[in-house]
Amino acid sequence: MTQTPSRHFDLIVIGTGSGNSLIDESFADKSVAICEKGAFGGTCLNVGCIPTKMFVYAADTAVSVAHSSTYGIDSTLDGVRWPDIVSRVFDRRIDPIASSGEDYRRTRCDNVTVYDGHAAFVGPRTIDTGTGEIITADSVVIAAGARPSIPRIVTDADVAYYTSDDVMRIPELPRSMVIQGSGFIACEFAHVFSALGVEVTVIGRSDVLLKHVDRELAERFTDQAGRRWDVRLGQQITSITATGADRSGVEVTFEDGSTCSGDALLVATGRIPNGDLLGLDTAGVAMDGELVRVDEYGRTTADGVWALGDVSSPYQLKHVANHEQRVVGHNLRHPDDLHAFNHRHVPWAVFTWPQIASVGLTEAEAREAGYDVTVKVQDYGDVAYGWAMEDSLGCCKLIADRTTGLLLGAHIMGAHSPSLIQILIQAMEFEITVPELARRQYWIHPAMAEVVENALLGLDFPDRGF
């Protein structure tokens, strides 16, 4: 027998990542319920973007020490205080922010009620909060995020493993680590742990690391990664076996009979949207594969139910979730003036070593789409600041349409690439042509941005206009 709802709200929000940011002062006159079974702040704050980059910064510092002799400076890395690194990230930053965010909603927002159980639909706009209370609302926003994906071969093997959700809080650094996965998460953590002294093995099924990156950059990255990590690519895993007295280590066997082993296993094979955990069928909310189905305005297939972020977006990126949160927030307040999502030029970055940033089409995608393509690859080492860094790896690759003069894609690998690419994102969004971007502004000499300027100037157009 279904329990009778105990309370009705104007709005229910499931998830406190970008969903929590949706509840701003414009909702002060609305009754709002927030459902969150975990820590406030969602993936980005607690287990994703922010803490990982704090670890990356420590790893970058360690790499700088290791490479200092290149510049005539002799230095040694005397030790890595892992507990202090963890404490800096979580005790001093992340955990207090998550705790204060929840406290703010509970004690300072009179119109907001917090439910700390696992929320699931039990009917149209009807939520079992997981706390013994069922509630209803005029509108519901699903912002429930995603969780680590664990391959069946791992779960069937009954071995100990970490994911991105818990590996940053391990009590001590292992001597060696096997990382299953070859994408963004795997390569970021491979950088972190290897820089801090862990022997890292990275395994993946594709023939390159970061296979979604422009092929030329992916090959460059894979080549240099193989000099720092034991990289095993292009093979299926046939078995995983626990090793060690406490069974915390693993041995991995591949289809060709070769093996690798480590004192710890990190599974970094992507994240699964949480829509399958929410009882959506009882509410009339349809899914497209693993994603909650939404239209261009963020509406699901159920009246009054919206979705945003990782649970419904093909882009598992915080800046996309924040954009979608702003759009859905506007649409809730202004149902007669709906705004659409803008997913035209979605950029991303991988904070591994070296860093990689990308926006738009790869060269292969641009050619396949039939554009009259011009391409330029400009090496970091060919500009003055690149000389200063003695950089022999970094590069800026641009793809443009010779007919219109517009950029189609930009891909940068090297120091500060997530910042360097911003001007190219802006150019694509506002349709600034390559000649305009290259010559209608100053480029500071000898800043690293000259690698972008020179790449723009190297693109070939019938009427160059430079």
Q: Just list the catalytic residues.
A: 445
Q: What six digits make up the tokens of 441? A: 């502004």
Instruction: Give me Rg for the CA atoms of the chain.
Output: 24
Nearest-angstrom CA–CA distance, 305 and 442: 48
User: Beta strand pairing status for 176-180 and 199-204?
Assistant: parallel
**244 phi/psi in degrees, rounded to 5:** 90, 160
Residue 362 phi, psi (nearest 5): -75, 170
446 preceded by a cis bond (ω within 30 of 0): yes
The closest alpha carbon to 353, from 173, 246, 227, belongs to 227
**Which residues contact residue 14 at a Cβ distance below 8 angstroms, ignoring those fewer than 6 apart?**
35, 119, 127, 140, 141, 142, 143, 144, 278
SS3 label, residue 342: coil
- Backbone φ, ψ for residue 13 (5° rounding): -115, 125
The separation between CA 123 and the C-alpha centre of its own chain, rounded to angstroms, equals: 32
Chain CA centroid to CA 462, Å? 38
- CA distance readout (Å), 224 to 49, 206, 383, 398: 24, 17, 21, 21
Which one, of 397, 313, 314, lies nearest residue 356 by Cα? 397
Give the phi and the psi of residue 285 in degrees, each rounded to 5: -95, 115
d(CA 292, CA 308): 9
